[in-house]
Amino acid sequence: MKGDTGFPRADAESDFLRARRRQVLSRLANWLRREPDDVNIMLPFHEVVDALGWAGERRIGLRVIQLSSIVGSVDRGRDFDRRFRPTSGRVRERWERLALAARRGESIPPIEVYRIGELHFIIDGHHRVSVAHAMGLGTIDAQVTEVRTKLDPAGIRYRGDLIVKDYRRIFLERVPLTGQARASVIVTDPWDYAELGEHVEAWGFRLMQDEGAFLDRPTIAARWYAEEYEPVVRMLHQADLIRGRTEAEAYMWVAGERYRLIRTHRWDDEVIETLRTRR
């Protein structure tokens, strides 16, 4: 590495001090930029699984994985930041011992990780990952266990993103949409998922009252999407009422305004025109 002295022990010590310095400077830079508190924090594995919903797991075995794909930890989130730079001197002795072994070309055992989608979470091997980052490596050997979840982890970057995933998971348990319907009903505010769930359940109750028959959740979800949501969204596009929202957010807004202004659950051109003139 650039700046090495040729003495492995001294270079390992310098590696640690350099990693610590970078962690402190990164924390200061985030503070100056007013970044959210969770930007530099590793994702807690169990919180991610709780938010996405556990669906099963299987052992994959030894794989070569990208260091950049390791975003979280099972239980050591305080000792290292999001980029696995040490957050204190507490880990120094073991860290430098591993760095020295790596510099001497000694064999380093694979780490152990959970895989969720394309993300990896360390079970064992935090120091090894930290040293690999400090040495500028791009990959590392890992024993991988794949965890399947009810929701796709795509879009998770920070701890705060888990709130949206958690509310969406609960919404889809209440309103079990499938296929394209599942993919298209998206909101950005997590609380909107709770409100939309209440709305769909109320719609389903009125439907059962009208038809005099019990309908299960999957049936109500499918009929709400086909008979209520899709037709309304088409009308909203035609009336240019989406306006920077997601389709689901526009639907929620106009559904609430419809009842507040004209006390009706029907949809027709008159209703849409009334809403457009009063927006």
pLDDT value, residue 176: 96
Condensed to tens digits (0 to 9), the pLDDT of residues 54-105 reads 999 999 999 999 999 999 999 866 788 878 888 888 888 888 888 888 888 8
Q: What is the pLDDT of residue 106?
A: 87
Concatenated DSSP letters of the chain: -TT--S-HHHHHHHHHHHHHHHHHHHHHHHHHTT--TTTTSPEEHHHHHHHH-EEEEEEEEEEEEEGGGEEEESS-TTTB-TT--BSSGGGHHHHHHHHHHHHTT---PPEEEEEETTEEEEEE-HHHHHHHHHTT-SEEEEEEEEEEESS--TT--STTHHHHHHHHHHHHHHS---HHHHHH---SSHHHHHHHHHHHHHHHHHHHHHHTS---HHHHHHHIIIIIIHHHHHHHHHTT--TTS-HHHHHHHHHHHHHHHH-----SHHHHHHHHHH-
How far apart, in Å, are the Cα atoms of 149 and each of 21, 51, 160, 170, 257? Answer: 37, 9, 18, 13, 36
pLDDT of 260 above 90: no
Q: Which residue has the higher pLDDT, 5 or 70?
A: 70
What are the pLDDT digits (tens) for 208-220? 999 999 999 999 9
- Bridge partners of 232, per DSSP, are none
Domains of the chain: 8-149 (3.90.1530.10), 175-278 (no CATH)
Per residue in 160-198, pLDDT tens?
888 899 999 999 999 999 999 999 999 999 999 999 999
